[in-house]
């Protein structure tokens, strides 16, 4: 059996490449070994065995600076953030729902999460769907699962909240977290022939690991599909026929 790989969270290659490029340019001006490290990594042609993506939701430079100053002082260095050989910054913006050709300068977790999970911008509040046209945007989580990789989604927040939700669900509004929360997403309801709420889609996605808060969303009853009247977390085994 081919050894399965673990994807914990998701990594968008283009985003990482951009961040690495910024890191090289800035670090090179400061005289460190970033260019040398980047050249060595490129020459090695190594392939990652595991990919673990850690995301501090809402964490920006101001939060990092506060943590650095508090823990180590103004001249200190935060392990894991200030110490890697390559670091970088990227900017983001969302799209206006009414006119996706125009930017929305304040980005929420749903739109920014959709960006790093799918490589596409969207409007605030959307979970891996396009602004206005409401098309499904495939996520890197789903793409690697098709290749046989094991996948996991772990959060200290509700696992149905916007940031973890962008990996394995597609809805037009971030608040549609459980079957009873679908007022803003009527066509996504299972009783309407849709894929269901965020919780239902995360379970149906058959990830290998789902850890997080929000049990109440999964205790809500499914309103349609092959398993109506069951709680959202209940589903047949992959090899079983839905009853």
Query: Which residues are part of the catalytic machinery?
Result: 109
Q: Which two tokens stand for residue 74?
A: 């103004």
CA distances from 157 to 79, 145, 161, 193, 211 (A): 24, 23, 7, 29, 10
Q: How many beta carbons lie within 10 A of that of residue 233, not counting itself?
A: 16
Q: Which two tokens stand for residue 120?
A: 């596409």
- E-state strands within 22-130: 51-52, 94-95, 103-104
CB neighbour list of residue 40: distance below 8 Å, 6 or more residues apart? none
Alpha-carbon span 217 to 159, nearest angstrom? 9
Q: How many beta carbons lie within 10 A of that of residue 224, not counting itself?
A: 16
Alpha-carbon span 49 to 102, nearest angstrom? 40
Q: Which of 85-96 are b and which e, b meaning 16 or more Cβ less than 10 Å from the residue's Cβ? A: bbbbeeeeebbe
Nearest to 137 by CA among 152, 159, 115: 115
Alpha-carbon span 114 to 15, nearest angstrom? 12
């Amino acid at each position: 059996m081919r050894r399965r790989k673990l994807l914990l969270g998701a990594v968008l290659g283009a985003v990482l490449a951009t961040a690495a490029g910024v890191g090289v340019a800035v670090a090179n001006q400061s005289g460190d070994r970033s260019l040398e490290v980047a050249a060595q990594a490129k020459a090695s042609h190594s392939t990652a065995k595991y990919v673990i993506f850690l995301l501090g939701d809402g964490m920006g430079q101001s939060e990092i600076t506060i943590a650095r100053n508090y823990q180590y002082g103004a001249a200190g260095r935060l392990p894991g953030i200030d110490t890697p050989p390559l670091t970088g910054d990227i900017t983001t913006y969302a799209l206006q729902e009414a006119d996706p050709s125009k930017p929305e300068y304040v980005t929420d977790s749903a739109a920014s999460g959709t960006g790093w999970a799918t490589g596409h911008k969207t409007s605030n509040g959307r979970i891996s769907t396009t602004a206005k046209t409401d098309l499904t945007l495939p996520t890197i989580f789903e793409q690697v699962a098709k290749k046989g990789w094991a996948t996991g989604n772990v959060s200290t927040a509700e696992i149905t909240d916007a940031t973890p939700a962008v990996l394995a669900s597609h809805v037009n509004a971030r608040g549609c977290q459980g079957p009873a929360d679908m007022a803003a997403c009527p066509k996504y309801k299972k009783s309407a022939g849709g894929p269901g709420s965020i919780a239902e889609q995360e379970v149906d996605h058959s990830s290998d690991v789902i850890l997080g808060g929000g049990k109440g969303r999964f205790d809500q009853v499914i309103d349609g599909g092959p398993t109506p009247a069951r709680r959202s977390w209940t589903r047949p085994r992959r090899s079983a026929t839905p009853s």
